[in-house]
C-alpha cells in the first residue's frame, strides 16, 4: 500500500525523537514513509516534497525540527494536507525555541503542534485524522483509548491496596 503519512525531519539527528511517531503509526498498521528534508539546507527538496505530497497519496505530514524550526510551517504553506509539527528539543533552550518557531503560525496556515519532544502524540493524532474517514481505524483508536483508561484504573486499584 502507498504510504498515507509522511514523517519528515530537518536532520537525521531528529530521528531519536521522531521515531516515536513512526512507532505509533506502525502500531495502528498505518503505512508511512520517512525522510530528512531540511528547510534551510535542502530547500528545493522541501518544496518538491510538500508540493507533491497530496498527489502521491499522502494524507497527513508529520514534521519534526529543532531550533529555528521552520520546516513544519514552510511545508504547511505549500500543501493542503494537515501538517503536524513536533518541536524537537536541542541542547540549548530546552526545546522552547523549537516550540515557539513551530506553534506561532500566521492566520490561514495552521500547523497542529504537539508538546516538545512528543512525537508519539503526533503519530496518534495522524491516526485520528485518518480515522475520521476510516471506520476500522477509528474503532482501533477507540480500543486504544479504552486500554489507556483500563491501565489507569489498574494503577488506581494497585494504589488502593
Ligand atoms: C534543525 O537543526 C534540525 O531539525 C535539527 O533539529 C537541528 C540540528 O541539526 P544538526 O545539528 O543535526 O545539523 O534544522
- The atom number, within ligand 1, closest to the CA of 64 reads 4
pTM for this predicted structure: 0.96
Answer yes or no: is the C-beta of 11 below 6 A from any ligand 1 atom: yes
Is 41 annotated among the ligand-binding residues? yes
Helix or strand (DSSP H, E) at 67? none
Closest-CA residue, ligand 1 atom 9, reads: 11
Rounded distance from Cα 149 to ligand 1 centre (Å): 36
Helix (H, G, I), strand (E, B) or coil at 84: strand
At residue 41, the pLDDT reads: 97
Q: Does 109 have pLDDT greater than 90?
A: yes
At residue 146, the pLDDT reads: 98
Distance in angstroms (rounded) separating the CA atoms of residues 157 and 149: 12
**Which CATH topology does 5-160 take?**
Rossmann fold (3.40.50)
Rounded distance from Cα 52 to ligand 1 centre (Å): 24
* pLDDT (tens digit per residue) in 1-27: 899 999 999 999 999 999 999 999 999
Distance in angstroms (rounded) separating the CA atoms of residues 9 and 70: 11
At residue 101, the pLDDT reads: 97
Distance in angstroms (rounded) separating the CA atoms of residues 67 and 100: 9
Confidence grade of residue 30 (pLDDT, cut at 50, 70, 90): very high
* pLDDT (tens digit per residue) in 61-100: 999 999 999 999 999 999 999 999 999 999 999 999 999 9
Q: Does 161 have pLDDT greater than 90?
A: no
Is 101 annotated among the ligand-binding residues? no
Distance in angstroms (rounded) separating the CA atoms of residues 130 and 145: 16
Domain boundaries, the chain: 5-160
Amino acid at each position: 500500500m502507498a504510504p498515507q503519512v509522511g514523517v519528515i525531519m530537518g536532520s537525521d539527528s531528529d530521528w531519536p525523537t521522531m521515531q516515536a511517531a513512526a512507532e505509533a503509526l506502525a502500531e495502528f498498521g498505518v503505512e508511512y514513509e520517512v525522510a530528512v528534508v531540511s528547510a534551510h539546507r535542502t530547500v528545493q527538496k522541501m518544496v518538491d516534497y510538500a508540493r507533491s505530497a497530496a498527489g502521491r497519496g499522502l494524507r497527513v505530514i508529520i514534521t519534526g525540527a529543532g531550533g529555528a524550526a521552520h520546516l513544519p510551517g514552510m511545508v504547511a504553506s505549500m500543501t493542503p494536507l494537515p501538517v503536524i509539527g513536533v518541536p524537537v528539543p536541542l541542547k540549548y533552550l530546552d526545546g522552547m525555541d523549537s516550540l515557539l518557531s513551530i506553534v506561532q503560525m500566521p492566520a490561514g496556515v495552521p500547523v497542529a503542534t504537539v508538546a516538545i519532544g512528543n512525537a508519539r502524540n503526533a503519530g496518534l493524532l495522524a491516526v485520528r485524522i485518518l480515522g475520521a474517514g476510516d471506520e476500522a481505524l477509528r474503532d482501533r483508536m477507540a480500543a486504544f483509548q479504552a486500554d489507556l483508561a483500563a491501565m489507569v484504573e489498574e494503577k488506581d486499584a494497585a494504589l488502593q491496596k
